[in-house]
Structure 1
């Protein structure tokens, strides 16, 4: 909705981006119509939601990987191949301090994942690990790739151009004259005439993301309002040293386990300050006990934080952006998008033009707070659209 993936409780509140208690009493104004994986629907019903109407159900043959004999499942050999590379390139865990613990780690991983790591290959290699991780994470995305991508055709005759312009199955988006005899025609199929690509399967892609959301929900439910930020496969939350019984997610090295992203800075490193200006836009400072090093990390989607950009975008500047955005109590105003709530960056970039020329040119990007996915009470507390106080 509004071009964004939203997780809300009321459709009408989403459409209106309502920043107050839901006042839609009619269930038809609150209900959503869409396509969901059965596992998500089971969880929704378990939590008290009602399914009011079913239009169509698609059923597929199910296969599950057998870890004991390695049979069944989808793409098990592919996943095991790159998981082995990724795990070996991650290096030894911090607790592997001698030969005995290293052998114990290899054996335990074999029992848990059915993969035998090569002892001589276990060495930290960030580049190799990144490649293996990319192969693992991007594989499912190919199944969900859009089939109707724009295409460019070189046209050299009047007949070819007329054929494209009059074809009932295609829409012409752009025509670029190269010279008196050649045109570049950009076109794509109309949605109703698209033939699915042979390598895509929306079902596989949907099941992958659905199970990822359900797994993330299990963490969010137990962490509750201690959660500061979460994304597809990560979660930043508050932990209290004086609460030994407080839930803390299990951290491990197996497939599906959460990993501690701070362990690379040193043992027991923790985040001391955290701010977020929207999805994939956050910054934090961290502390490692018995060390005086200043740790600062910023993540801003679409912006490379090189030295020049890092001077303008850092923890303090992002914090100031957010404080400025919440300087007014009227969160429905345009305050979050006015001039004083933006950081403008100018940089040089190598780009290719429509004429296939490669050149270096000046570009600019704007960094600003984007808080359009939830209802914000304060700079520290937010609720999903459609939330109603009892």
Structure 2
């Protein structure tokens, strides 16, 4: 869904190319998505949609995050009767962190399970969570090495990494010597977040 909502790459609609060339580039993009990522795209659905793209990205992050979601998160309940409140107060399996009276009728109770009574949620999978985050950092390390080293393995003196996180790198390089990390359109390839802008100042705390 994110692939299709991102639209075709800019090269598929650049000025000066014929309709035949544009169609050929679009087909090549679809074919590459299948050969590289095993994702079969529907050409009728490939159209830039900022809202749908954001939702797709959010879903991906949330779904993968479910594997590593902590099992001892604080829970909050809004209670409107004394019986339910007494039930929580007398439950020796939980630790109550706060009780706030919202109105004359409603209370807000925050609590979490005691260590010996923690139950894993349905999607908990430590192995998948560890593998995913480890693979992401290996991919990040590979990109960092490309920024700091030339093709022959020697250090590049024209580049400098300014910032990085799990899936992004902010770096500077000498334009004449070429970008050490050329971008791409497929999964796992880097995308220039600001292709039509010039960054004149960078501040990081």
TM over 0.5: yes
1:183 and 1:273, CA in 2 relative to 1: closer, same or farther beyond 3 A? Answer: closer
Q: 1:188 aligns with which of 96, 100, 112?
A: 112
Aligned to 2:69: 145
Question: CA 1:238–1:196 in 2, change beyond 3 Å: closer, same or farther?
Answer: same
The alignment's C-alpha RMSD in Å is 2.3
**Which residue pairs with 2:188 in the alignment?**
256
SS of the equivalent of 1:171 reads: strand
When residues 273 and 171 of structure 1 are mapped into structure 2, their CA distance, relative to the original with a 3 A threshold, is: same
> Is the alpha carbon distance of 1:236 and 1:164 closer, same or farther for their aligned partners in structure 2, counting shifts above 3 Å?
same
The answer to whether the 8 A contact 2:93-2:117 is kept is yes
- Equivalent residue for 1:154, pick from 65, 79, 88: 79
State the partner residue of 2:160. 226
Q: Distance in 2 between matches of 1:190 and 1:172?
A: 10
- The match for 1:348 is none
Distance between the aligned counterparts of 1:233 and 1:137, measured in 2?
12
Contact 2:76 2:108 in 1 (8 A): no
Match in the other structure for 1:215? 139
Q: Counterpart in 1 of 2:96?
A: 172
1:248 deviates by 0.9
Deviations 1:14-37 (A, max 9, x none): xxxxxxxxxxxxxxxxxxxxxxxx
Q: Give the structure-2-normalised TM-score.
A: 0.78
Q: CA deviation at 1:206?
A: 2.1
Partner of 2:16: none
By how many angstroms is 1:241 displaced? 2.0
In structure 2, what is the equivalent of residue 86 of structure 1?
2
Unmatched 5+ stretches in structure 1: 1-84, 278-390
CA separation of 1:262 and 1:165: change in aligned 2, threshold 3 A: same
Q: TM-score, normalised by structure 1?
A: 0.43
Could you tell me which runs of 5 or more consecutive residues in structure 2 were left unpaired when the two chains were aligned.
14-21, 149-158
- Structure 2 counterpart of 1:273: 201
CA contact (8 A) 1:155 1:185 kept: no
Shift of 1:184: 3.8
The Cα shift of 1:153 comes to 5.3
Q: Distance in 2 between matches of 1:121 and 1:166?
A: 55
Greater Cα offset, 134-143 or 199-208: 199-208
Q: Secondary structure at the match of 2:203?
A: strand
Greater helix proportion: 2
Q: Is the 8 A contact 1:155 1:184 kept in 2?
A: no
| Structure 1 position 204, deviation (Å) | 1.6
- Detail structure 1 runs of 4+ shifted over 4 Å in the superposition: 159-163
